[in-house]
Structure 1
Amino acid sequence: MPAQEIAQPNPPPDASLLSDAVLEYSVTLDTKDYLPKDELNAIQLFRRAADYIAAAMIFLNDNVLVEKDITFDNIKPRLLGHWGTCPGLVMVYAHLNRIIRKTGLDALYVVGPGHGAPAILSCLWLEDSLSTFMPEYTQDYTGLKKLISRFSAPGGFPSHINAETPGAIHEGGELGYALSVSFGAVMDNPDLVVACVVGDGEAETGPTATAWHGFKYIDPAESGAVLPIVHVNGFKISERTIFGVMDDKEITALFTGYGYQVRIIFDIPNLDNDIAASMEWALAEIKKIQTAARSGNPIIKPRWPVLILRTPKGLSGPKKVHGEFIEGSFHSHQVPLPAAKTSEEELHALQDWLRSYKPEELFTKGGAPNEQVLSIVPQVSSKKLGQRKESYSNYTPLFTPAWEDLCLEKGSQESCMKAVGRFLKEVVKENPKTFRIFSPDELVSNKLDAVLDDSGRNFQWDIASRGKGGRVIEILSEHTCQGMLQGYTLTGRTGLFPSYEAFLGIIQTMMVQYSKFTKMGSETTWRQPCGSLNYIETSTWARQEHNGFSHQNPAFIGAVLNLKAKFARVYLPPDANCFLSTVSHCLRAKNYVNLMVGSKQPTPVWLSPEEADLHCIAGASVWKFASVDEGVDPDVVLVGIGVEVTFEVVAAAALLRKLVPELRVRVVNVTDLMILSMSGSHPHSLSDEAFESLFTKDKPVHFNYHGYPIELKGLLFGRSSLERITMEGYSEEGTTTSPFDMMLCNHTSRFDVAVAAIHGGAKHNPKVAVKAHEKCSYLKHLAQKEREYIYANGKDRDDMFDTPTFV
């Protein structure tokens, strides 16, 4: 874009252009001379110091206070980082510091702009929070040089905020989630305010667009508040932002429609006074809403505040280089002077830029920030934004009731989800302020609704549906549920995300980003463990008969399998009792991503509570009741992994007992998928000896697997004698059809399992081999007859899913 076409942010329109409805919620304040001169001066000094450090971090490896002229040797070999968002992030940090010091406000700072780390790290160093957790970053010249020179260098801080950043509860590597994470963080934290900066690039994402509704799920009587601050600086990497070309009337109308009160900050000559007044107004509005709710007279549809901070992109940076505007244009987004290592013009521009901050006025000769710079920093360490306990050490263990007390009788039939719903009801009773369920409007559909008997949904936007202390958040946005779950979990509580199986993939990258945050956090010396991310995946492909092919996708299993083994757990409990044991374990576990896959339809309860306990501890076991001679010396091993496909394995074993009594079958169920991985590759993986004790050393093994067979192949890779293994699983075959036809479509039916068993057993048992072709042909005939019946009658046979019996 030619330089002359680059526009500064739009000025506010004349108030007369705004409609009365919009004007009502567009807040006007008199902010001139709002701050006392000493506070104004301190704010501006802090901003100058932080901006200086942030800029130096991008460029310098030495001469970090520009005590002498900068040379090419002082410039890093690789220039990495994002300058454009830093001045705005520093502004917010500085003003939060002032208010915290003045009022004792309990606040967290969540940063949406992905690569704003230089701004936050500079502020953390100034408030001496870095050295609290990383003693090498001392508040002197040595520590400052280490911070500046190691930024975006191998082994140093990355250019985005991550788990190594004190005070952070949000990974900045992927845009769109800061706001939903913030809403999750304030739930059940009544005194906490999360200031969340949303960049105008991030504001273009779908997840952010939905997350603006998050306050409608915040009960001000029991939870804290989010103060959203939209940083509108007009540009992304090389293009304008949508918000950047919206005038104030459009932005005010948009946020008024969402339900907010809007305050637009634009007065550049009076910027610090304007921000200070706007923040104090916003906090007063939050206090008013909370006080009303906590006094028993809640405001109906309260309008929470939102601040729109309009500044030129890269404010205080280089103005113009090579005849092109830098400040106020996309050129300031990343590295404003990308050729500073080789260009004399850019080197001189960098030196002029850094010296314009007058570092000699900000730092002592020993490199420490001077007293005036620090005069707005909170004096109580625990109040500092980088040292809030909620961000790194606030885990409250969840108390789970005895799951055995809720078990079903062996031999009965029950929905795994119905049983789990009753368990979660008790979990809510025992943990009224530290447990929540985040569900994309599928709780009742997934038959977990027992939890609603004593705890409603926490929807706050009208009288009729207003929840009072409800533990369930239902919003038809997987992204928002995931973000809230992350914020709730990382601040010390425990959550659960139940979902239709096919649509968990929507938040796959969010889950992966969170796992990366957890991995990096576990490698710090100061972040303490937090609860696990817990997913229940139900309404699976095996029972999506009326929704059809679009609702059939078990791929989220593979996404979890791809995580670092230390953090990944995948469970496929075969019945209600095993599911109760599994969910109880997962809700108490820390730092994992737990995926539990189950069925909402009634299925047999195969194991007693005692048997289920042992089975889940082991991760897999031989099911003697379905095996010949309790599984001793088998011709073939049949393995079920998943509720419905395990039923088909047991049904196949019963069928074979009658049809081919000579065949010696061992039935194994796997409930912990990770045990199959090569010995030593996962904390749960079976030793080679244990693997052979379950699956034999040399007999054919057939897996009937709920997920994609390629996942199973990857897990088993490295085990010996893999040529003896066959497998079936979901193979992208389905339509609107019956449950059993889904088994037929994907070759996971009892007939398919029985055919595989005969083929395998024939290799070791001559009595089976002599009749293998005849029996396999007959089984295929039976399968075809079932399909004909289904299409003629529109349903499965009434007895198709009766519990198999063994003679």
Structure 2
Amino acid sequence: MPALSDDLLRRMHDYWCAANYLTVGQIYLCDNPLLEEPLADAHIKQRLLGHWGTTAGLNFIYTHLNRAIRQYDLDMIYVIGPGHGGPGLVAHTYLEGSYTEVYPHISRDRAGLRQLFRQFSWPYGVPSHVAPETPGSIHEGGELGYALSHAYGAAFDNPGLIVSCVVGDGEAETGPAATGWHSNKFINPLRDGAVLPILHLNGYKIANPTVLARIPERELIQLFSGYGHAPIVVAGDDPTTMHRAFAAALDKAIRAIGRIQRSARTGGGPLPRPRWPMIILRTPKGWTGPKAVDGLPVEGTWRAHQVPLPRPRDAAQRKVLEDWLRSYRPHELFDRDGRLRDDLAALPPTGRRRMGANPHANGGELLQPLDLPDFRAYALDVRQPGQLEAEATRVLGQWLREVMARSLPQANFRLFGPDETASNRLDAVYAASVKTWMEETLPTDVDLAPDGRVMEILSEHQCQGWLEGYLLTGRHGLFNCYEAFIHIVDSMVNQHAKWLKVTRKLNWRPPIASLNYLLSSHVWRQDHNGFSHQDPGFIDHVINKKSEVVRVYLPPDANCLLSVADHCLRSRHYINVIIAGKQPAWQWLDMETAVRHCTAGAGIWDWASSAAEDPEVVMACAGDVPTMETLAAVMLLREYVPDLRVRVVNVVDLMVLEPVGEHPHGMSDDQFDRLFTRDKPVIFAFHGYPTVIHKLTYRRHNHDNFHVRGYREEGTTTTPFDMLVLNNLDRFQLALDVILRVPRLAPLREAAVQRYWSDIERHRLYVSEYGIDLPDIRDWRWQDARAGRTHGHQRG
């Protein structure tokens, strides 16, 4: 029996035409939405934006997915990589009614159609891409490469969901998309949903043919079979033939998904990795659009990519545009009031089965808080500062193990990382859940299982994309990574930050869980791997984003790390960056002091200060290693200048340094002055590039007295302390900086400089001879253990 009856085929074709008509209308028209009068210049937009080339194919797919959802009662969302098909997605959500429910002023009548057309790519209207403003979307698509990653992230732990994911042939040339095809190897049909990839080949990018569209079909099928898929090919340009062929292909794919899931969920035996279906759809670029313009071919060529009629006010092109619009027969599709014909309006699914209204595409609606254990129960027993040594991230791993364990019943938390979970000392989580692995295992393998919930693949792009898809569909997660290589996802962070910024203003999109990073193996402890692994610049990248979205934390020890991590996993709609070392390090604060300090974001460490109330100099620090070097410099200064009045300030929440009007966590000027004074020198030891601190504090009263030491792009394979020396962040340099900047110490400066160079020479000779740091560096320990308290700025 054919998938489509003649009547259903006719109505689906008309529905497709309606979507195509609305697509072209959005690109070109600002008035006369139903072509009730001849097309005139006044009806055409002055600026023509948007993309036509891929959209007819996307509209075709959406029309058929609607039929499948109804026929099989599917829970389905639609992720499209070619985000510039935005007008098509707007058109479909308008036709199914979900758009008007979100935006009531875009009514389903003539006036609403006019507004729908006019708002598209219009100042203060809607973007030309599939944007956060588009109902049903979790993927912007402006930057290509991440559709598959987002789709699979959405499918994890969503056993009833099918994510239809369209990958354009331009996107298919990107590195992240190439790796994304391997995501099928991480889907467990017993407890996950399914992704139905649809490779949409229309032959061209902006101005060139695409690789996959030109290779022989046999090679194309072999490629995707090699990826572990079962490809189904549909190709052509005749609408009737294509409707029947695609409907049959879609039915075959849906039935295959059902068989795989039923087998896994009722079999009770081992779970062999299934061969999931995918569809390869070939259509002409600019399908159903103008065949030629000004004597040049358009449909089926790169010229159809964006706006195929660039001068529609010219009489000849205006005639082509009007004929193109009327070819969809709008007078037959919409009644005199501009309402879609009843038999067509009955085609899409209803309620939450509509892809524009599916709650999985609006994850804040489904979000449930994590059941977090009390992090205080995992605290280190720090009785005196600097007397206990521990690996901060290993301590965090113990807490995360319980976070993972408690999340298992709800299936709403996963840990993501590029083969670095154990390296970053978080492997305690394996006691709660091991790593997802659907392939063969060998006797030498450890901590692998199909039901694992730790996601590891050596692709930062996939980890980021999976996590984003997971968060956008209403779950929680943490991405751990080496600090230097998180830069690989810089542009993905850009896109997610933009999504969060825009959706903060969309009251119909509730907040989602924050995107949380734990960056370890950081710059100051990558001495063994060398220069390639040394880069703290992700901080710079993140703080450029809107202050309402980003937070950066530099906990100085394990107890502070626990407090910060708990705060971040409870937070909503932020990008939280936590930077913490994994190597053994001295611990400074007991848990209650750590909580107060982290809540404040920055504070005076009385126990480390010789004159917290009336200092001659402020020694500030942010980051675990800079904190240790600052305290070591304090000890040197007590030896060099016993009567020097030093205040030590530690910063955990980097954003408190900004003025309160610039960031929600920012300090008022009075609060800032209470910590850093208005007129005393401030020697600031910072984890990252020094310009970050200057950027955050440049408008403060005392900024001219800030002298910041941090990473200055000097590194190699060396010793831990030599890394600090190379970048002038070592204790000898910090102590010298104080003597050079406190006015009354001027008589001591010449001797201090000589002592500094003597210490540096002694260090360099020793590391060159023995390959390790000096004994007094290796064995250093904080000597002043006075109990005290911190004073800080209360963070909101």
TM-score range, shorter chain: over 0.9
**Counterpart residue number, 2:747:** 770
Deviation of 1:326 (Å): 1.0
Among 288, 301, 310, the residue aligned to 1:338 = 310
**Counterpart residue number, 1:21:** none
Aligned 1:355-754 pairs, distance under 5 A: 355-379=326-350, 381-392=351-362, 393-410=365-382, 411-432=387-408, 433-464=411-442, 467-629=449-611, 631-754=612-735
Among 132, 138, 151, the residue aligned to 1:169 = 138
Determine helix, strand or coil for the equivalent of 2:131. Answer: coil
Among 30, 34, 42, the residue aligned to 1:65 = 34
Deviation of 1:110 (Å): 0.4
Among 288, 294, 298, the residue aligned to 1:326 = 298
**Counterpart residue number, 1:797:** 774
Among 301, 309, 313, the residue aligned to 2:281 = 309
After superposition, the C-alpha distances for 1:276-318 in whole angstroms (9 at most, x for unaligned) are 1111111111111111221223552310011000001111111
**2: CA distance, partners of 1:310 / 1:456:** 40
| 8 Å CA contact retained: 2:436, 2:451 | yes
| 8 Å CA contact retained: 1:169, 1:490 | yes
Gaps of at least 5 residues in structure 1 are 1-31
- What letter is aligned with 2:391? S
Deviation of 1:33 (Å): 4.2
Q: Cα 1:299–1:449, aligned 2, differ >3 Å: closer, same or farther?
A: closer
Aligned 1:36-55 pairs, distance under 5 A: 36-55=5-24
- What letter is aligned with 2:361? S
- What letter is aligned with 1:387? A
Deviation of 1:445 (Å): 1.2
- What letter is aligned with 2:215? M
**Counterpart residue number, 2:246:** 275
**2: CA distance, partners of 1:430 / 1:95:** 40
| 8 Å CA contact retained: 1:663, 1:758 | no
Gaps of at least 5 residues in structure 2 are 786-796
| 8 Å CA contact retained: 2:3, 2:251 | no
**1: CA distance, partners of 2:166 / 2:343:** 26
| 8 Å CA contact retained: 2:694, 2:703 | no
After superposition, the C-alpha distances for 1:570-593 in whole angstroms (9 at most, x for unaligned) are 000000000010011101100000
Among 87, 94, 107, the residue aligned to 1:138 = 107
Deviation of 1:260 (Å): 0.6
After superposition, the C-alpha distances for 1:20-50 in whole angstroms (9 at most, x for unaligned) are xxxxxxxxxxxx9431122212211110100
Deviation of 1:372 (Å): 2.0
- What fraction of aligned residue pairs are identical, expressed as a percent? 44
**Counterpart residue number, 2:324:** 353
Deviation of 1:783 (Å): 2.3
- What letter is aligned with 1:401? P
| 8 Å CA contact retained: 1:300, 1:463 | no
| 8 Å CA contact retained: 1:292, 1:298 | no
After superposition, the C-alpha distances for 1:224-272 in whole angstroms (9 at most, x for unaligned) are 0100000000011111011111221111010011111010001443111
**2: CA distance, partners of 1:705 / 1:749:** 11
After superposition, the C-alpha distances for 1:500-538 in whole angstroms (9 at most, x for unaligned) are 111111101101101101111111120000000101111
**2: CA distance, partners of 1:777 / 1:199:** 65
| 8 Å CA contact retained: 2:271, 2:438 | no
After superposition, the C-alpha distances for 1:771-799 in whole angstroms (9 at most, x for unaligned) are 23223421331122112111110011345
**1: CA distance, partners of 2:199 / 2:698:** 49
Deviation of 1:654 (Å): 1.2
Deviation of 1:758 (Å): 1.4
RMSD value, Cα: 1.3
Determine helix, strand or coil for the equivalent of 2:166. Answer: strand
| 8 Å CA contact retained: 2:530, 2:718 | yes
After superposition, the C-alpha distances for 1:127-154 in whole angstroms (9 at most, x for unaligned) are 0111111101111111111101221111
**Counterpart residue number, 1:760:** 741
Deviation of 1:65 (Å): 1.2
Among 87, 93, 97, the residue aligned to 2:56 = 87
Deviation of 1:211 (Å): 0.3
**Counterpart residue number, 1:217:** 186
**1: CA distance, partners of 2:307 / 2:343:** 30
Task: Show structure 1 runs of 4+ deviating over 4 A.
Answer: 463-466
Determine helix, strand or coil for the equivalent of 2:83. Answer: coil
Deviation of 1:364 (Å): 0.6
**1: CA distance, partners of 2:477 / 2:371:** 13
| 8 Å CA contact retained: 1:635, 1:760 | no
**Counterpart residue number, 2:155:** 186
| 8 Å CA contact retained: 1:51, 1:90 | yes
Normalised by the length of structure 1, the TM-score is: 0.94
**1: CA distance, partners of 2:776 / 2:163:** 56
After superposition, the C-alpha distances for 1:406-432 in whole angstroms (9 at most, x for unaligned) are 011213111111011111101001111
**1: CA distance, partners of 2:689 / 2:397:** 28
**2: CA distance, partners of 1:479 / 1:662:** 54
**2: CA distance, partners of 1:780 / 1:356:** 83
- What letter is aligned with 1:452? Y
Among 163, 167, 176, the residue aligned to 1:198 = 167
Determine helix, strand or coil for the equivalent of 1:413. Answer: strand
2:762 matched to 1:785?
A: yes
2:269 matched to 1:292?
A: no
**Counterpart residue number, 1:9:** none
- What letter is aligned with 2:203? G
| 8 Å CA contact retained: 2:82, 2:142 | no
- What letter is aligned with 1:422? Q
| 8 Å CA contact retained: 1:415, 1:602 | yes
**Counterpart residue number, 1:14:** none
- What letter is aligned with 1:725? F
Determine helix, strand or coil for the equivalent of 1:505. Answer: helix
Deviation of 1:103 (Å): 2.1
After superposition, the C-alpha distances for 1:599-637 in whole angstroms (9 at most, x for unaligned) are 0101111000010000000001111121104x1211111
- What letter is aligned with 1:782? D
| 8 Å CA contact retained: 1:110, 1:197 | yes
- What letter is aligned with 2:749? A
**Counterpart residue number, 2:789:** none
Deviation of 1:323 (Å): 1.3
**Counterpart residue number, 1:7:** none
Aligned 1:201-280 pairs, distance under 5 A: 201-269=170-238, 270-280=241-251
**2: CA distance, partners of 1:622 / 1:100:** 60
**2: CA distance, partners of 1:412 / 1:197:** 54
Kindly tell me the number of residue pairs found equivalent between the two proteins.
769
- What letter is aligned with 1:518? L
**2: CA distance, partners of 1:534 / 1:595:** 6
Query: Mean Cα displacement is larger for which, 278-287 or 455-464?
Result: 455-464
- What letter is aligned with 1:376? L
**Counterpart residue number, 1:11:** none
**2: CA distance, partners of 1:147 / 1:758:** 67
Query: Mean Cα displacement is larger for which, 187-196 or 58-67?
Result: 58-67
Determine helix, strand or coil for the equivalent of 1:57. Answer: helix
**1: CA distance, partners of 2:316 / 2:128:** 26
